[in-house]
């Protein structure tokens, strides 16, 4: 069950999330339906297809950009991600370091 607000993950560092190609892909031939990704992902990216008895990427835009935790947890190597260089290139292209610096300064002022 997805409990996240639809707008909660709409942007990453001020970049609309739909412009960022970052989410897991599941190789159905390798997936054994253990549910580790479904039950462990804090962003509720996955659902479980009861008919197929396999995980599915139901909410790809909720995946935290750069996160690959589910790929690490999958003992069947069924989960993969795009090359991290895509994220690094996006950071440079979109000026995301400036946004991150501003966010850091705001956090430091709160403490």
Domain that holds residue 67: 11-110
Q: Closest Cα partner for 54 from 90, 19, 25, 26?
A: 26
pTM value?
Answer: 0.84
> Residue 23 falls within a domain, yes or no?
yes
Tally of structural domains, the chain: 1
pLDDT 10s per residue in the chain (111 long)? 555 566 788 999 989 999 999 999 999 999 999 999 999 999 999 999 999 999 999 999 999 999 999 999 999 999 999 999 988 999 999 899 999 999 999 999 997
> Residue 6 falls within a domain, yes or no?
no
> Residue 15 falls within a domain, yes or no?
yes
C-beta separation of 35 from 26 below 8 A: no
- CATH number for the domain including 35? 3.30.70.20
Q: Give the start-end residues of each E strand in the chain.
A: 11-12, 15-16, 25-26, 46-49, 54-57, 79-80
> Residue 3 falls within a domain, yes or no?
no
């Amino acid at each position: 069950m997805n409990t996240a607000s639809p707008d909660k993950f709409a942007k990453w560092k001020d970049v609309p999330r739909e412009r960022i190609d970052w989410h897991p892909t599941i190789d159905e031939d390798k997936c054994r339906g253990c549910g580790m990704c479904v039950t462990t992902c804090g962003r509720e990216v996955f659902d479980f297809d009861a008919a197929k008895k396999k995980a599915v990427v139901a909410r790809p835009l909720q995946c935290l950009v750069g996160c690959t935790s589910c790929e690490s947890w999958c003992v069947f190597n069924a989960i993969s991600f795009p090359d991290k260089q895509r994220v690094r290139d996006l950071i440079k292209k979109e000026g995301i370091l400036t946004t991150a610096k501003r966010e850091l300064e705001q956090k430091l002022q709160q403490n």
